[in-house]
A and B are shown apart, each in its own frame.
Chain A
Amino acid sequence: SQTIHQWPATLVQPVGSPLSLECTVEGTSNPNLYWYRQAAGRGLQLLFYSVGIGQISSEVPQNLSASRPQDRQFILSSKKLLLSDSGFYLCAWDKTGGWGYNSPLHFGNGTRLTVT
């Protein structure tokens, strides 16, 4: 069966510090990978998605970046964190099947980031 791992679970970082959040998927190959952010009391915002190694699409211009160095690894980074970067970050994966149908989207357990 497929599993998705995301770490760390919680993180407290000072303003201006770098960030690296990692996500890995097991039990499948060539997944679509996503980074979402969920701010308190708000819905989910798609930040980045990737359909393959080295292929990253950004949905929201900001000081965050994403990379996919391996097929099942997705990394969210920042060189200098802002207070507004605080939130709940979720990694997710799915597969694109035939006729454009996608499999269900599956989420990791998330990382709670607090920028102080």
Chain B
Amino acid sequence: KQEVTQIPAALSVPEGENLVLNCSFTDSAIYNLQWFRQDPGKGLTSLLLIQSSQREQTSGRLNASLDKSSGRSTLYIAASQPGDSATYLCALRTSGSRLTFGEGTQLTVNP
């Protein structure tokens, strides 16, 4: 059974700092890995998707990496802004229909 862990559960940083969010998983037999952000009371917004054959994806100030051998993915956020404050979740697709989600990291960027 795939288990997904996101540490830390919460993170508070000053504006402008570069930061890394972590996602660990136990089963490397995945189709892809996706990072989402969730604002309070809202649905999840897709940020980046990395296929199992890829090592990283970039979108603006975000960069996500995937290392299947070590069971890790990281989401790098450059020059953080208060608008980046949200909960960030990673999810692994282990079959056509099934995604396993982490519990998320709640990020607060202080002005």
Check if A43 sits within 8 Å of B42, measured CB to CB.
no
Q: Contact check: which of A57, A96, A109 meets B42 at CB < 8 Å?
A: A109
Mostly, the A contact residues are: strand
Counting residue pairs across A and B whose Cβ atoms lie within 8 Å, the total is 53
Q: Which of chain B's residues have a CB closer than 8 A to the CB of A106? A: 46
Check if B43 sits within 8 Å of A43, measured CB to CB.
no
Check if A112 sits within 8 Å of B41, measured CB to CB.
yes
Tell me whether A104 is interfacial, beta carbon within 8 Å: yes
Tell me whether A7 is interfacial, beta carbon within 8 Å: no
Q: Report if A105-B99 is in contact (Cβ < 8 Å); known contacts: A43-B104, A100-B31.
A: yes
Check if A107 sits within 8 Å of B44, measured CB to CB.
yes
Q: How many residues of A contact B (CB 8 A)?
A: 25
Q: Which of chain A's residues have a CB closer than 8 A to the CB of B45? A: 107
Check if B98 sits within 8 Å of A105, measured CB to CB.
no
Which residues of chain B (65-111) have a CB below 8 Å from chain A?
89, 91, 93, 96-99, 101-104
Q: Could you list 5 A-B pairs, sorted by A, with CB under 8 Å?
A: A42-B103, A43-B104, A102-B32, A107-B36, A107-B46
